[in-house]
């Protein structure tokens, strides 16, 4: 068979895998946005069956034949860059899963769905004991998978690679070490400042229906395409992509904390813009997705913090917010509003944390995950270790599991290795923001006048369009000229919070 025919056959084979993945994403979105509780068990079975099809096709002899044929050095000059990258990704997936027994993989997928459902109940009841047996099974699965992958040294690196290819604990330890060294004294200075912003007006009731209208308005303002997406409500906000023409976001409306709802919606909108702007040439291929969770988080945090928390953004939208409110902002100045939404103090809940203390929340989770897989930390000890780390990094101790170890869905979902991407994404975002300011000197003026198209076009040109055609460190270096550098984030936070808190 000619190489062109092999490539065509391979593309058709991979397209079927992507179709299965889209069906899985739709089923999982439904389970997290309102599927009846009594249907979760059967739906989990369906997701397990579909995932098993993906697993079987990804590790089949047929896939191995495609990989061998199209990895041959003698045919490389006949392949497009897209085909080469597709084969590279298919091979990585094949190597990762081929040694995992199919039934074991299916059982793991079913456990994921069940554990997520139990987590919701455990969180409401603030009872870690409900989730513990599921989490123990989840960790056991992950440890066995790492064994199947043949990893013997730093086992946590194998999990990091699932979400941030190219990053290692050695690299992250250096970045986080520098970040922590700069953040802790700044957090302390802010906490003891006498110039604390007035923010009681932020906790006054804001009708949920008006929050929804305002969130819809802001998503449109940042460029989210509602002909290629929708906004729904869920317990834990997320974005999910079926394909670039169907990218969905969710939020959690909080009547007495509307700003968290607003910024959380903008955050998920940043994720969605990334996926909506991936080149259509990559649709139907495994490259039609964000290249890493760190790069993905850089986009959501860019819009949440560098846009959504900026003075320039609210110069444009504060009067509009007043129209959606019920008078609570009539006697509030723009400057006071800006200082209030950027107030910083140690708090328990990661997704509600301010941008100054947020990275410290991630470091708590990072340290715990490393210990779970590289050391001898047991699941039963998680609540106690969590509380100890929160006190060490943020100076506060949770009083219950809901505001402590149960607050995130990631571990019940099996997403160990994911958390570092949040802080890495913040570091990346600061680097992108600095580079963008060099290319677009009047950046703030564009934001102030509501012209965010120039921002999204820059991001699409340098980041979005490539999907996973480029690796995360490749995108970072091509765009900024260097690897992960936390100094840009530290400078940004020091300048911003010195101004807000009159340091």
The 10s digit of each residue's pLDDT in 96-136 is 889 999 899 889 989 998 999 899 999 999 999 999 999 99
Whether pLDDT at 430 is above 90? yes
- Average pLDDT value for residue range 362-387: 96
Whether pLDDT at 356 is above 90? yes
Inter-helix orientation angle 258-276/208-222, to 10°? 30
- Average pLDDT value for residue range 233-257: 94
pLDDT (0 to 100) of residue 414: 95
Q: Catalytic: which of 28, 268, 297, 369? A: 268
CA pair distance 392, 146, nearest whole angstrom: 30
- Average pLDDT value for residue range 379-402: 96
Chain centroid, CA 56 distance in Å: 28
Whether pLDDT at 448 is above 90? yes
pLDDT (0 to 100) of residue 463: 98
pLDDT range class, residue 66, cuts 50, 70, 90: very high
148-186 pLDDT per residue, tens: 998 888 999 999 999 999 999 999 999 999 999 999 999
Q: Which residues pair with 233 in a beta bridge?
A: 251
pLDDT range class, residue 289, cuts 50, 70, 90: very high
Task: Name every residue whose Cβ is closer than 8 Å to that of residue 345 and which is 6 or more positions away in sequence.
Answer: 190, 191, 354, 357
Chain centroid, CA 78 distance in Å: 36
As a whole number, the mean pLDDT across the chain is 95
Residues in the chain: 503
CA pair distance 134, 141, nearest whole angstrom: 11
Whether pLDDT at 13 is above 90? yes
- Average pLDDT value for residue range 469-494: 97
pTM for this entry: 0.92
285: left (phi over 0), alpha (psi -120 to 50) or beta: beta
Tell me whether residue 268 is one of the annotated catalytic residues: yes
On whether the CB atoms of residues 57 and 50 are closer than 8 A, the answer is no
- Average pLDDT value for residue range 428-436: 98
CA pair distance 120, 125, nearest whole angstrom: 9
Which CATH number fits the domain 169-500, given the four candidates 1.10.1740.10, 1.10.150.20, 3.10.20.340, 1.10.1370.30?
Answer: 1.10.1370.30
CA pair distance 490, 503, nearest whole angstrom: 15
Pairing of strands 231-233, 239-243: unpaired
Proportion of the chain above pLDDT 70, given as a percent: 100
* Cα-based angle 147, 150, 151 (whole degrees, multiple of 5): 80
Residues of each domain in the chain carrying CATH 1.10.1370.30: 169-500
């Amino acid at each position: 068979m000619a190489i062109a025919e092999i490539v065509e056959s391979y593309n058709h084979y991979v397209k079927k895998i992507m179709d299965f993945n889209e069906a899985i994403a739709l089923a999982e979105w439904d389970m997290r946005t309102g599927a009846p509780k009594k249907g979760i068990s059967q739906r989990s079975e369906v997701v397990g069956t579909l995932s098993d099809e993906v697993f079987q096709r990804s590790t089949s002899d047929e896939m191995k034949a495609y990989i061998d044929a199209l990895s041959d050095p003698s045919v490389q000059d006949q392949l497009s860059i897209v085909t080469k990258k597709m084969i590279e990704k298919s091979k990585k997936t094949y190597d990762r899963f081929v040694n995992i027994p199919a039934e074991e993989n299916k059982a793991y997928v079913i456990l994921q769905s069940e554990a997520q459902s139990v987590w919701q109940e455990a969180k409401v009841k603030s009872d870690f004991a409900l989730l513990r047996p599921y989490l123990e099974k989840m960790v056991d699965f992950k440890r066995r998978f790492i064994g199947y992958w043949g990893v013997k040294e730093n086992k946590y690196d194998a999990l990091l690679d699932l979400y941030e290819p190219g990053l290692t604990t050695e690299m992250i330890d250096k970045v986080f070490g520098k970040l922590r060294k700069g953040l802790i004294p700044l957090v302390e200075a802010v906490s003891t400042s006498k110039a604390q912003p007035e923010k009681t007006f932020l906790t006054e009731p804001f009708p949920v229906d008006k929050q929804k209208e305002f969130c819809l308005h802001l998503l449109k303002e940042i460029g989210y395409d509602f002909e290629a997406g929708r906004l729904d409500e869920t317990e834990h906000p997320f974005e999910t992509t079926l394909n670039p023409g169907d990218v969905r976001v969710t939020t959690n409306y909080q009547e007495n904390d509307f700003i968290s709802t607003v910024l959380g919606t903008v955050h998920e909108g940043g994720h969605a813009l990334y996926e909506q702007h991936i080149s259509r040439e990559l649709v139907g291929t495994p490259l039609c997705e964000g290249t890493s969770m760190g790069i993905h988080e850089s986009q959501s945090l860019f819009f949440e913090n560098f846009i959504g928390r900026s003075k320039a953004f609210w110069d444009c939208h504060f009067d509009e917010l007043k129209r959606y409110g019920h008078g609570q902002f009539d006697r509030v100045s723009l400057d006071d509003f800006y200082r209030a939404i950027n107030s910083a103090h140690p708090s328990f809940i990661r997704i509600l944390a301010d941008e100054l203390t947020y990275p410290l929340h991630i470091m708590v989770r990072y340290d715990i995950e490393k210990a779970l897989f590289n050391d001898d930390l047991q699941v039963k000890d998680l609540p106690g270790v969590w509380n100890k780390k929160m006190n060490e990094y943020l100076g506060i101790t949770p009083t219950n599991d809901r505001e402590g170890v149960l607050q995130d869905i990631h571990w019940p979902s099996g997403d160990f290795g994911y958390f570092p991407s949040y802080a890495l994404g913040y570091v990346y975002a600061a680097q992108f923001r600095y580079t963008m300011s060099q290319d677009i000197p009047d950046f703030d003026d564009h934001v102030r006048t509501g012209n965010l198209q120039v921002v999204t076009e820059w991001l699409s040109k340098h980041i979005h369009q490539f999907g996973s055609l480029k690796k995360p460190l490749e995108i970072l270096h091509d765009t900024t000229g260097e690897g992960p550098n936390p100094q840009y984030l530290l400078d940004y936070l020091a300048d911003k919070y010195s101004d807000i808190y009159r340091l």
